[in-house]
Amino acid sequence: MTLKRTILLAAFLCVTGAQAEAVDINFDGQFTQGGLVIGQTAPGSKVFVDGSLVRVSPAGEFILGFGRNAASEVELRVVLPSGSSDTRKIGVESRQFKVQRIDGLPPKQVTPDPEVVKRIRAESALIKDARKIDTATPYFLSGLAWPIHGVVSGVFGSQRVLNGKPRAPHSGVDIAAPRGAIVKASGDGVISLVHQDMYFTGKTVMIDHGFGLSSVFIHMDEILVHEGQSVKRGASIGKVGATGRATGPHLHWGISLFQTRLDPSLTVPPMPTKK
Ligand SMILES: [Zn+2]
């Protein structure tokens, strides 16, 4: 969260012709696909993002999140406690994501086991439900940090197209680390999900950072927290592993604003290089 922008919007009270009241908004974050932006405006304001009312903290903070395929602009409407308001369209930068095309693969003769399909559906519903949590405490104001340091071996948004069929884009970042290395909480929050054995994601932990912002940590070897536990940024939550469908030990870290996946690497400083 390095990019700081301040936009001063002059709002005019047309009806009364009274003095203009400036709508002052500060932004921290990047208006780009995958980006997370924390805004702050006058306490007591109402904020609408693309027409939808979003949660605002008592100090006037709110969150904007842009998915991999976010539109090129977002409409922000702020209504001050006085009733004075302004609407502004803000550009959202588009990005090029890595696409790998592999053709000529032998067609897979896989008949999915109905029991496995049932299990996958039930497990993804648990994750989806955890992403619906809308806690009023802005834990995310603790700031976010890498849950572990290491080589980023998989980036957000990359996609493989196999025999012309696009697969789901990569929804987080992969960090290479040895089995057993400690995974730390990416930010303050409450543990919203602990699962010991999910088909795809293995040992899985989620943190609710408040206002619909959440982190997910998957493929872990061991989980060190329980559901409902409050954690501070940097607290030990688990150990790196290769549980679920993983080719080797690594941490997959994802961030979502409700169901919208964001790019975790845009929410933290650059990965420190080894000394
Ligand atoms: Zn991954």
Among the three residues 32, 63, 91, which one is the final residue of a domain in this structure? 91
What are the two backbone dihedrals, phi and then psi, of residue 136, each rounded to the nearest 5 degrees?
A: -80, -10
Lowest mean pLDDT across 11-25, 125-139, 144-158, 199-213: 11-25
**24 and 63 housed in the same domain:** yes
Q: Which of 243, 244, 226 is nearest to 235 (CA)?
A: 226
Is the domain of 234 the same as that of 257? yes
d(CA 151, ligand 1 centre) in Å? 13
Ligand 1: centre distance to CA 257 (Å): 18
Contact of 66 with 51, CB cutoff 8 Å: no
Both 196 and 152 in one domain: the answer is yes
Domain ranges, residue 116: 101-266
CATH number of the domain that residue 85 is part of:
2.60.40
Residue 113 lies in a domain: yes
CA of 198 to the centre of ligand 1 (A): 15
Q: Are residues 162 and 250 in the same domain?
A: yes
Q: What is the per-residue pLDDT across 90-108, written as a single tens digit (0 to 9) for each?
A: 999 999 999 999 888 887 7
Residue showing tokens 């872990």: 220
124 and 244 belong to one structural domain? yes
Backbone angles phi, psi at 196, to 5 degrees: -85, -15
Provide the CATH number for the domain around residue 145: 2.70.70.10
The domain total for the chain is 2
* Alpha helix segments (H runs only) across 41-169: 114-130
Q: Please indicate, yes or no, whether residues 133 and 39 belong to a single structural domain of this protein.
A: no
Q: pLDDT (tens digit, 9 = 90+) per residue, 154-210?
A: 999 999 998 888 999 999 999 999 999 999 999 999 999 999 999 999 999 999 999
* Span from the CA of 138 to the centroid of ligand 1 (angstroms): 27
Ligand 1 ion: residues within 5 Å (CB):
154, 174, 252
